[in-house]
Amino acid sequence: MKETVVKEPVDTGLKSAQPKDGGTGVVLPQLGILGMFRWAWRQLTSMRTALFLLLLLAVAAVPGSLFPQRPSAPSEVTQYLKDNPVSGPIMDWFKLFDVYSSPWFAAIYLLLFISLIGCVLPRAKIHAKAMRSAPPRTPKRLSRLAEYGTVTIPAGSGIDAETAVRDAAGILKSRRYRVDIRDLDTDRPSVGAEIGFMKEVGNLLFHTALIGVLAAVAFSGLFGYSGQRVLVEGETFVNTLASYDTFTPGANFTGNHLTPYSVQLDRLVVKYDRSTQAHYGQPLDFTATMTTKDGPGAEAKTQTLKVNDPVGIGGTNVYLVGNGYAPVVTVKDGEGKVAFQGPVITIPTDGAYTSLMVIKVPDAKPKQLGFVGFFLPTALIDKKGVAFGSDPDPFNPQLNLNAFTGDLGLDSGVPRNVYTLDTSKMTEINSRKLEAGGIVLAPEQSYKLPGNNGSISFDGIKRFAALDIRHDPGQVYVLVFALLALAGLMGSLFLNRRRVWVRTGNHPDGRTMVEFGLLARGEDHRLAGEYAAINKALHTKWLVPMDTAGQNGEQGQSTTIDSDQSVAAASKDH
Amino acid sequence: MPEINEDFAQLSEQLMLVAGLAYAVAFCAYAWDLVTFSQAVKRGLAGHSADEAAGVHSESRVAEFAGIGSRLAAEQGLGSGPLDRAVRPSSKTHDGSDGITAGDSMRYGAERRVVARVAVALTVVAAVVQGFAVVFRGLAAGRVPWGNMYEFCTTGSFVVAVVFLLVLTRRDLRFLGTFVIGLVLVMVVAASVSFWTPVGHLVPALQSYWLIIHVSIAVMSSALFTLTFAMSVLQLFQARREASIASGKKDKALVMRLVPNALSLENLSYRINGIAFVGWTLTLMFGAIWAEKAWGRFWGWDTKEVWTFVIWVVYAGYLHARATKGWTGTRAAWLSIVGYLCVVFNFTIVNMYFSGLHSYAGVGS
Ligand code: HEM
């Protein structure tokens, strides 16, 4: 991990001749299979590869935002494939519509995480050892450290070299350094001190926690489930598989995970902005009032559900994700019997809730009936006499429908979308194009279909709520690991790892000479501040006035106990 | 829900206009300061031999320092130190006495830069006025003013200006003024011209205290990224200039004498990027928690989520680059710039042209 610690100044304009790093060199060693494997492993776990994979991950995530994705917008993907018959399938083959579950995306992040493990493990081992061993031996020439200072204790103070070293060790200890006094039996005793082990611990914690996040995300996909249900006012949903409109189980889901609670939608109240002109009619609030029971025999509770404020029940969360109108209609068939009665869920298509409506009446006799059209909460008529919706509130509700008779095509076994009507085997009997005209109904109005085909009446309006129901046992672990990662990151970025050495000596004239040096591992812009604090503490301890003497470096030469050995040896323990 | 106060809304817009004008004048002052300074340098240089001006850090100088102490000489920067140093130099590296770049400490020097002072004073005025504009926008709506792009952009530019001024109290980054206040000006103009939206209530999807937490941190991190973007751009220029001077060419960009050397720009932007990265990590995490509350899933690769993730990974790459041999310096600066371009892309293009759950930009509605 030499690369992570050694940071040489670059971009200074002077190209210094750097020896090539052996670990990431490009020459293939001739070591057989095992050697090749080792070489590949070292490549993979090198910092350069980690960086490359990270940047690759960023690039690989982008296409998912450019093209529609199946999990979130399946119909847009279908449309895209229809619009691009040549390039579409090719893109599909490259999984460009399923980027985040594609093999190539997975390959990148799995390689990244393998690299990460290969990075973290040896580093953790090295660091565990470092944490248990004494600070490195005192460098011969402290004056070559990044920060350096001296203190001269006057003769007659009664503080000899040994006492001074112990005092210095005490000061460093109180500053929470780990200290080690050495060479007491020589005439140059010294103390080595180190602080900031948590920086590396933070870094390791951060990277390890990222693995935890990934694992937790995978886990939550396995055991969780999610489902959708559209509930009209007055209807009740019981949490069983059969009651869901759509249901997406995790891979390890079994049906007995479901708690049979029930939720009845009593009322959905929607408020629109009526006070400003600029945003007139913009939704302000959706509030669903529900009666819930934790189980079949349980007590009924009244709960409110809002956007951004899910209701927790039976280990699941219930979310309000959509809403709309469900006009209540009654259809009588040609024989005069009620063939359909109830609320019809419509699909809002714009801000004025111009809502698409499809009614299928398979029980109608002698021929099946079908209706397509729009529900308009507030209908206005434009210049051409066509009705359009102008407000989301039901100020002037109106049904505008075309009617068909014939075969709905429901018996053929082909699954049909409830929101589309297949008119290929049907005859249009009502529309603006026909003589009979389209069906236009206000509440409590009825219309008799032409040709003795029955009648349709518009009985009233209800609202519906689209609910998402989710159970995700893994997400709390995602949060825990994310918080751990955050803590580790902050420790790693904001803590500093430093070493301090203090060396003392008895001068023949009775003074006690003290010199000290500071060294940071990695970048440390606060090292000078630490120097100043230690300098002050030493001076205060020995009652030496803080004059210009002892200022960092300038005066230091006189007391430096020089030797030719470089300081590099001391800091090169990694 | 409180009533919309149209008077406050109007006042806010007028104040925003005043702030924009003040920023415009401040921008001109910063630019003027750069020009006058470089002319002053040119005049000063006329007295010296060009050789000396360009070659102060050369061998003779180092030798001179060597007499004082090898350590000092080692720390005179610009690569003249011993190559066996295991760490980057700490804070006292380069005092600017070489005359090529400003001091590393980025403390205020002795020279009087009247125009720069005027520029800073104008920035303060503009920021205060803009602060009032933002507050009145919030008062008008009875909520935090972060509900649409106009509001993100006006608040965001305000935060950029305030962060810049705060950093100015500790470091002399006035050389960055042309860049930073220029960007602020662009944001104010873009907000008022392209993103303008009349004041209104929040749509239900945004009515959550997570809006306050998530967006405020996102805006602050983006403000810091804006600062480091400007510094990384300057770093690239400065690195080229240093290289060209070192190879004996004439110093063509005298104005860059105001700017610290590339290494100290890199170090300071690394520190700021570190803080901003933690902020962005929080943005991403809080966004995920909010998404769980609003949509029932904490992550769904929505376009906005994708780009937030991309930005996070790019800056993680930047932090790695700083620890990777051969990737520090210029390449790291490029990553910082790319990261910021992603931030801008996420804010503008993604908000306006990409559909997704986050489509509440409010533009044109
Ligand atoms: C999921 C992918 C990864 C992410 C998101 C990530 C993120 C980060 C971040 C944000 C930092 C800066 C904070 C710090 O100093 O601790 C960092 C540092 C670091 N990362 Fe990673 N990392 C990833 C993978 C890796 C891998 C694969 C390796 C090893 C090959 C690695 C090795 C390191 C090292 C050594 C540092 C410390 C740098 C220093 O000393 O300044 N990381 N990482």
Q: Which has more pLDDT, A526 or B257?
A: A526
pLDDT in the model for residue A20: 39
Alpha-carbon distance of A318 to A296, in angstroms, equals 18
Read off the pLDDT band of A14 (50, 70, 90).
very low
Mean pLDDT of A359-385: 90
Residue A89 near residue A81, CB atoms below 8 Å: yes
A468–B298 C-beta distance less than 8 A: no
Coil/strand/helix, residue A286: strand
> CB–CB of A140/A563 below 8 Å?
yes
Given CB atoms, is B307 within the 8 Å cutoff of chain A?
A: yes
> What residues in A contact B101, CB-CB < 8 Å?
none
Extract the tokens encoding B316: 């993680």
| Predicted structure pTM score | 0.84
CA distance B87 to chain A (A): 6
Boundaries of every domain in chain B: 6-25+113-364
Name all contacts of B14-19 with Cβ < 8 Å and 24+ positions apart.
B15/B129, B15/B130, B15/B132, B15/B133, B15/B136, B16/B130, B16/B133, B16/B154, B16/B188, B16/B191, B16/B192, B17/B192, B18/B129, B18/B133, B19/B126, B19/B127, B19/B129, B19/B130, B19/B133, B19/B188
Q: How far apart are the first and last CA of chain B?
A: 21
Report d(CA A278, CA B362) in Å as an integer.
Answer: 11
Check if the beta carbon of residue A320 is closer than 8 Å to that of residue A304. Answer: no
Q: Is A494 on the interface with B (CB under 8 A)?
A: yes
* A213 CB within 6 A, ligand 1: no
- A273/B3 touch (CB, cutoff 8 Å), yes or no: no
Per residue in A252-280, pLDDT (tens digit) is: 877 666 888 999 999 999 998 888 777 88
Which residues are A267's β-sheet partners?
A: A289
A482 C-beta closer than 6 A to ligand 1:
no
pLDDT at A522: 77
Among B86, B91, B302, beta carbon nearest to A527 = B91
pLDDT at residue B105, rounded to an integer:
65
Angle between helices B149-170 and B177-193 (to 10 degrees): 160
B137 vs A420: which has the higher pLDDT: B137
Cα(A255)–Cα(B60) distance, integer angstroms: 83
Q: What pLDDT score does A22 carry?
A: 40
Q: What b/e string do you get for B9-22 counting C-beta neighbours within 10 Å, with b at 16 or more?
A: bebbbebbebbbeb
Per residue in A484-527, pLDDT tens? 999 999 999 999 999 999 999 998 888 999 999 999 887 788 88
Q: What is the mean pLDDT of residues A389-410?
A: 90
Q: What is the helix (H) or strand (E) element at residue A387, kind and residue range?
A: strand A387-389
Q: How far is A389 from chain B (nearest CA, A)?
A: 17
Determine the pLDDT at residue B341: 96
pLDDT score of A172 more than 90: yes
Sign of CA dihedral A111, A116, A118, A119: positive
pLDDT of residue A389: 87
Q: Of chain B residues 70-89, which have a CB less than 8 A from chain A?
A: 70-72, 74, 77-81, 83-89
My answer on whether omega of the bond before A348 falls inside 30° of 0, hence cis, is no
For residue A364, what pLDDT is reported? 87
Cα four-point dihedral sign A71, A75, A76, A82:
positive
- By C-alpha distance, the chain A residue nearest B312 is A58
Q: What is the pLDDT of residues A181-224, one digit of tens each?
A: 998 888 899 999 999 999 999 999 999 999 999 999 888 778 88
Sign for the pseudo-dihedral over CA of B236, B239, B244, B245? positive
Angle between helices B177-193 and B6-47 (to 10 degrees): 150
- Using an 8 Å CB-CB cutoff, list chain A residues near B271: 525
User: How many of the other CB atoms lie within 10 Å of CB of B82?
Assistant: 12
Alpha-carbon distance A403 to A333, whole Å? 13
Give the H/E segment covering residue A317. strand A316-332
Could you tell which of A116, A120, A490 is best to mutate to test the pocket of ligand 1, judged by most ligand atoms within 8 Å of the CB? Answer: A116
| pLDDT number for residue B53 | 39
The DSSP letter of residue A431 is B
| pLDDT tens track for B81-115 | 222 222 334 444 555 656 667 766 677 666 677 88
> Which atom of ligand 1 sits closest to the CA of residue B313?
5
Cα separation, B14 vs B11, whole angstroms: 5
Candidates B223, B224, B225; CA nearest to B152 is B223
* A170 Cβ contact list (under 8 Å, min separation 6): none
Which range among A36-45, B20-29, B34-43 shows the weakest confidence by mean pLDDT?
B34-43
Evaluate if residue A424 carries a pLDDT over 80.
Answer: yes
DSSP letters for A492-520 = HHH--EEEEEEEEEE-TTS-EEEEEEEEE
pLDDT for the residue A433 = 84
Q: Could you give the CA distance from residue A96 to residue A85 in angstroms, rounded to a whole number?
A: 15
Ligand 1 nearest atom to the CA of residue A49, by list position? 30
Region A409-424: mean pLDDT is 76
pLDDT of B30 strictly over 80: yes
Verify whether the Cβ–Cβ distance A71 to B300 is below 8 Å.
yes
Q: Name the least confident of A70-74, A403-407, B213-217.
A: A70-74
User: Measured between alpha carbons, how far is residue B319 from residues A4, A503, B230, B272 in Å?
Assistant: 11, 36, 17, 11
B1 vs A contacts (CB less than 8 Å):
284-285
Question: Which of B79, B278, B350 lies nearest to residue A13, judging by beta carbons?
Answer: B79
pLDDT given for residue B358 in this prediction: 55
Average pLDDT over residues A448-467: 92
pLDDT band at B355 (very low <50, low <70, confident <90, very high): low
Distance CA A505, CA A335 (A): 116
At A90, the amino acid letter reads: I
* C-alpha span between A530 and B91 (Å, rounded): 11
Under a CB-based contact definition with an 8 Å cutoff, are residues A553 and A148 in contact? yes
In the numeric block, the tokens 């470092």 are attached to A130
Structure tokens at B33: 């300061």
**CB within 8 Å of B168: residues ≥ 6 apart:** B120, B174
Confidence of residue B46 (pLDDT cuts 50, 70, 90): low
- Smallest CA separation from ligand 1 atom 26, residue: A116
How confident is the model at residue A557, as a pLDDT? 38
Check: CB of residue B156 under 8 Å from CB of residue B217: no
A337: three-class secondary structure by DSSP? coil
B residues 334-363 near A, CB within 8 Å?
335, 350, 354
If pLDDT is split at 50, 70 and 90, which confidence band does A423 have?
confident
A88-130 pLDDT, tens digit per residue, is 999 999 999 999 999 999 999 999 999 999 989 999 999 999 8
Q: How far apart are CA B207 and CA B212, in angstroms?
A: 10
Check residue B224 and give its pLDDT: 94
Average pLDDT over every residue of B249-268: 82
Residue A75 has pLDDT above 90, yes or no: no
pLDDT for the residue B122:
95
pLDDT at position A553 is 42
- CA A301/CA B86 separation, integer angstroms: 68
**Given this model, what pLDDT does residue B94 score?**
59
Q: Is pLDDT at B356 greater than 80 in this prediction?
A: no
**In the prediction, which pLDDT does A413 show?**
64
Closest C-alpha to ligand 1, atom 17:
B320
Instruction: Name which residue sits closest to atom 41 of ligand 1, judged by CA.
Output: B323
Task: Please give the residue that has the higher pLDDT: either A22 or A63.
Answer: A63
* DSSP structure string for A190-244: EEEEEE-HHHHHHHHHHHHHHHHHHHHHHHHHHH-EEEEEEEETT-EEESSGGG-
Query: Which amino acid does the sequence have at A54?
Result: L
Q: Residue B342's closest CA among B222, B227, B237?
A: B222
Rounded (10°) angle between helices A103-132 and A47-61: 140
Instruction: Quickly state the pLDDT bin for A416 (edges 50, 70, 90).
Output: low
Chain B residues with CB-CB distance to A499 below 8 A: none
Output the pLDDT for position A169.
Answer: 95
AA letter at B100: I
Whole-number Å distance between alpha carbons of A516 and A147: 8
Region A396-422 average pLDDT: 83
pLDDT value of position B96: 60
Is the minimum distance from the CB of A489 to ligand 1 under 6 angstroms? yes
**Taking Cα atoms as reference points, which of A466, A467, A468, A475 lies closest to residue A224?**
A475
The mean per-residue pLDDT over the stretch B263-281 comes to 93
From ligand 1's centre to the CA of A492, what distance in Å? 10
A522 pocket-lining for ligand 1 (C-beta < 6 Å): yes
pLDDT value of residue B38: 74
Report strand pairing: A316-332 vs A355-361: unpaired
User: B143-170, pLDDT tens digit by residue?
Assistant: 889 888 899 999 999 999 999 999 888 8
Half-sphere exposure of A173 (CA within 13 A, CB side): 10
Q: What separation in Å is there between the alpha carbon of A208 and the centre of ligand 1? A: 10
Taking residues B181-199, report their average pLDDT: 91
